[in-house]
A and B are shown apart, each in its own frame.
Chain A
Amino acid sequence: NAGVMQNPRHLVRRRGQEARLRCSPMKGHSHVYWYRQLPEEGLKFMVYLQKENIIDESGMPKERFSAEFPKEGPSILRIQQVVRGDSAAYFCASSPMDWGRNTIYFGEGSWLTVV
């Protein structure tokens, strides 16, 4: 059973370009979460999605950031017009439906560098 898969693992973008980060949850998991880890900091919650629905996006920046989890295919975190401050590690996690009795599992992260 493959774990949470994220790609690319490392991404370099110039200021103003777009970054797309992909996350495939563990098999059988229908809930996906995105977290961001800035240098020297802990992870901060960004968004929680189920298939075709955004459940909680309270941690998403108001502009340039969006996330989706389509019926088919991976979840995508999209950052438009990237700036240097977007440089961070972005982690995806997934869980089965009844999270309260289950652990959420993290992917290995995608490191975004904006130059």
Chain B
Amino acid sequence: AQSVTQLDSHVSVSEGTPVLLRCNYSSSYSPSLFWYVQHPNKGLQLLLKYTSAATLVKGINGFEAEFKKSETSFHLTKPSAHMSDAAEYFCVVTLYNQGGKLIFGQGTELSVKP
């Protein structure tokens, strides 16, 4: 069975400093992994996805994530936080043959201080 654990429920950074949102997954087979962002009372926007190609995945808005099989991790990073990055971030796992049956982490709320 697949599962995903987001290690921090809340992360606070200052504008212009790096962002690190941590995610560990559990999967019996090669998973597909995603990061989604949700702004307050809004839907989800896909930031990036890993589907067994390059292990370093670049996404939108300067975000990237690295798939590390040995550590079962898929941490999300950004070199320099912007105020508009403040939102809820979800790490998501699924198997290629599970259709759209995504397994969501509990979410990490990112706060960005001026």
Interface residues of chain A, those whose CB is within 8 Å of chain B, are: 4, 31, 33, 35, 41-45, 48, 55-56, 91, 93, 95, 99-101, 103-109, 111
Are A93 and B100 touching (Cβ within 8 A)? yes
Are A104 and B100 touching (Cβ within 8 A)? yes
Tally of contact residues, B, Cβ under 8 A: 21
Known pairs A31-B99, A100-B97, A103-B49; A44 contacts B104 (CB<8 A) = yes
Interface residues of chain B, those whose CB is within 8 Å of chain A, are: 36, 41-46, 49, 51, 90, 96-97, 99-107
In the bound assembly, the distance between CA atoms of A35 and B36 in angstroms comes to 14
Q: How far is the CB of B55 from chain A (nearest CB, A)?
A: 18
Q: How far is the CB of A43 from chain B (nearest CB, A)?
A: 5
In the bound assembly, the distance between CA atoms of A46 and B102 in angstroms comes to 10
Closest-by-CB residue of A relative to B45 is A106
